[in-house]
């Protein structure tokens, strides 16, 4: 385990033992947002269910559109008409089924009505303004695949084929704990004694995990003491699918997380070739996955997004959801080539000639406000420098938070 592991290798290593949870449950659609489908969903009915009108207008035989036609019926949405006989037309409204005999709908704006006599002001083509049965979804087709994390629009799609409940995987349970004698919970003290800091990682992690739809069990503050660390790690592992700790995973004598994970289970990975985020550990305690994230808050965000998130999604049974890298023009210089893959907190903005990206002034891994400020991370591979105007790769934070 000597040396720093490149991100790609680390991902391959951790993902190879990420096993999807097996249990599933049936949920009503209203409760299924963010949950992962346990099976493919097929369309029980075609959408739409019949050929229907895309307009308010008149249904007729297109070949007769040069003649005066007699309007003999009225078909509002929700009712079915009767056959349109030669020489006739049907008043029809958006969404109403196109009656037999008719093969086009003319917009009401394109005709004039004199009593019940309809005259078209322009010709109409066969099929015009008709939404075909099954044009959205064909009956029996797979609408959404197993592994899909349900988005708001997916719930609508499921409803459109009449699905009232869906089978989803049970939610992954993730335990979090915050190590460090210096930590104080917000609310526990109105001011800080020398050396103390408020615990921010807990809230960042809680938010990231909740936004991704996982169930969070919070094991609170863990002092820098080996026995307590071990006891809490053990309890957290017994209660969850994955334990995530922050801090205490570096090389100081006050860092006890690694040794205590090794006492309870084993470590498979330590130290990433990533900046920020070098001191990251991955291992297992029994059947439970373990991630020891760095203490520094900006490093927590980056390592969670790049390493923990893909592992959790895989365990949740969710299809791969890698963030799309976006090319943008650098409004900054990055003169010193690093030995690690770097993620720089940045703001991406669009202007006249495309996407531009600028960096936060302080890229220290301790500066959490830089993450709030940022809407993106610039990815700089090891060994590379960036000159102003270069094209760089950017990942949107929005894509990492969902
Ligand atoms: P460590 O890896 O434990 O040495 O922590 C590295 C840095 O991160 C130190 O400056 C810690 O005070 C800070 N840190 C650790 N845990 C937290 C936390 N939960 N919230 C905010 N900062 C933290
Ligand atoms: Mg510490």
- Looking at residue 156, which CATH number applies to its domain? 3.90.105.10
Ligand index nearest the alpha carbon of residue 294: 1
Ligand index nearest the alpha carbon of residue 296: 1
- 346 vs 47: CA distance, rounded Å: 43
Percent of the chain with pLDDT over 70: 100
Judgement on whether residues 13 and 36 belong to the same structural domain of the protein = no
Residue 302 · residue 277 · CB < 8 Å: yes
* Position with higher pLDDT, 322 vs 216: 216
CATH number at residue 365: 2.40.340.10
Is 1 part of a structural domain of the chain?
no
Residue 41 · residue 161 · CB < 8 Å: yes
Whole-structure pTM value: 0.95
Number of domains in the chain: 4
Tell me which DSSP letter residue 110 carries: G
Judgement on whether residues 175 and 244 belong to the same structural domain of the protein = yes
Judgement on whether residues 292 and 388 belong to the same structural domain of the protein = no
Tell me which DSSP letter residue 272 carries: B
Tell me which DSSP letter residue 313 carries: H
Which atom from ligand 1 is nearest to the alpha carbon of 178?
19
CATH number at residue 94: 2.170.190.11
Model pLDDT, residue 352: 86
pLDDT band at 2 (very low <50, low <70, confident <90, very high): low
Judgement on whether residues 126 and 203 belong to the same structural domain of the protein = no
pLDDT digits (tens, 9 = 90+) for 346-385: 999 999 899 999 999 999 999 999 999 999 999 999 999 9
Judgement on whether residues 200 and 110 belong to the same structural domain of the protein = no
Model pLDDT, residue 311: 98
Residue among 297, 277, 280, 279 nearest 200 (CA)? 297
Token couple for 206: 């809680």
Determine whether the shortest distance from the Cβ of 296 to ligand 1 is under 6 A.
yes
Judgement on whether residues 298 and 196 belong to the same structural domain of the protein = yes
Is 2 part of a structural domain of the chain?
no
| Residue numbers of the domain that contains 208 | 7-22+171-315
**68-82 core/surface letters (b: 16 or more CB in 10 A; e: else):** ebebebebeeeeebe
pLDDT digits (tens, 9 = 90+) for 176-205: 999 999 999 999 989 999 999 999 999 999
- 240 vs 90: CA distance, rounded Å: 63
- 28 vs 30: CA distance, rounded Å: 6
Token couple for 146: 């197993």
Q: Identify the H or E element spanning 36.
A: none
Q: How far is the CA of 148 from the centre of ligand 2 (A)?
A: 38
Is 114 part of a structural domain of the chain?
yes
Judgement on whether residues 146 and 189 belong to the same structural domain of the protein = no
> Which residues have their alpha-adjacent CB atom under 5 A from ion ligand 2?
180, 247-248, 295
Judgement on whether residues 283 and 211 belong to the same structural domain of the protein = yes
Judgement on whether residues 272 and 347 belong to the same structural domain of the protein = no
**Cα 353 to Cα 170, 329, 356, distances in angstroms:** 46, 10, 9
The last residue of a domain, from among 79, 106, 131: 131
Tell me which DSSP letter residue 170 carries: P
Model pLDDT, residue 177: 98
**Residues whose CB is less than 8 angstroms from the CB of residue 325 and which lie 6 or more positions away in sequence, other chains included:** 379, 393, 394, 395
Model pLDDT, residue 323: 86
Token couple for 82: 């009767």
pLDDT digits (tens, 9 = 90+) for 116-137: 999 999 889 999 999 999 999 9
- 342 vs 377: CA distance, rounded Å: 9
The last residue of a domain, from among 112, 131, 150: 131
CATH number at residue 178: 3.40.980.10
pLDDT digits (tens, 9 = 90+) for 49-68: 999 999 999 999 999 999 99
pLDDT band at 320 (very low <50, low <70, confident <90, very high): confident
Which atom from ligand 1 is nearest to the alpha carbon of 247?
3
Judgement on whether residues 146 and 198 belong to the same structural domain of the protein = no
């Amino acid at each position: 385990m000597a040396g720093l592991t490149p991100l790609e290798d680390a991902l391959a290593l951790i993902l190879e033992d990420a096993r999807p949870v097996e249990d599933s449950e049936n949920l009503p659609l209203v409760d299924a947002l963010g949950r992962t489908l346990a099976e493919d969903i097929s369309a029980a009915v075609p959408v739409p269910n019949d050929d229907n009108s895309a307009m308010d207008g008149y249904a007729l035989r297109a070949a007769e559109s040069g003649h005066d036609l007699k309007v003999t019926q009225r078909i509002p949405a929700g009712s079915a008409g009767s056959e349109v006989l030669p020489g006739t037309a049907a008043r029809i409204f958006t969404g109403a089924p196109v009656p037999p005999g008719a093969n086009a709908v003319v917009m009401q704006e394109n005709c004039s009505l004199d009593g019940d006599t309809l005259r078209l002001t322009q010709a109409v083509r066969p099929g015009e303004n008709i939404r075909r049965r099954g044009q959205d979804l064909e009956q029996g087709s797979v609408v959404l695949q197993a592994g899909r994390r349900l988005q708001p629009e997916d719930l609508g799609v499921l409803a459109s084929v009449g699905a009232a409940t869906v089978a989803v995987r049970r939610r992954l349970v993730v335990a979090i704990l915050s190590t460090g004698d210096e930590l104080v919970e917000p609310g526990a003290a109105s001011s800080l004694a020398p050396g103390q800091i408020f615990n921010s990682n807990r809230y960042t992690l809680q938010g990231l995990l909740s936004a991704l739809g996982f169930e969070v069990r919070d094991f609170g503050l863990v002092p820098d003491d080996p026995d307590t660390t071990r006891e809490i790690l053990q309890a957290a592992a017994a209660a969850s699918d994955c334990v995530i700790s922050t801090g205490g995973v570096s090389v100081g004598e006050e860092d006890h997380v690694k040794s205590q994970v090794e006492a309870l289970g084993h470590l498979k990975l330590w130290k990433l070739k990533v900046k920020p985020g070098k001191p990251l550990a991955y291992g297992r305690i029994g059947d439970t996955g373990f991630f020891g994230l760095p203490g520094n808050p900006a490093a927590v965000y980056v390592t969670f997004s790049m390493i923990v998130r893909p592992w959790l999604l895989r365990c949740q049974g969710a299809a791969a959801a890698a963030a799309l890298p976006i090319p943008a023009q650098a409004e900054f210089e990055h003169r010193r080539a690093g030995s690690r893959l770097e993620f720089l907190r940045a703001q991406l903005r669009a202007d006249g000639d495309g996407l531009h990206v600028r960096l936060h002034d302080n890229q220290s891994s301790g500066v959490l406000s830089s993450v709030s400020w940022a809407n993106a991370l610039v990815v700089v591979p090891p060994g590379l420098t960036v000159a102003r105007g270069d094209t760089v790769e950017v990942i949107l934070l929005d894509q990492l938070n969902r």
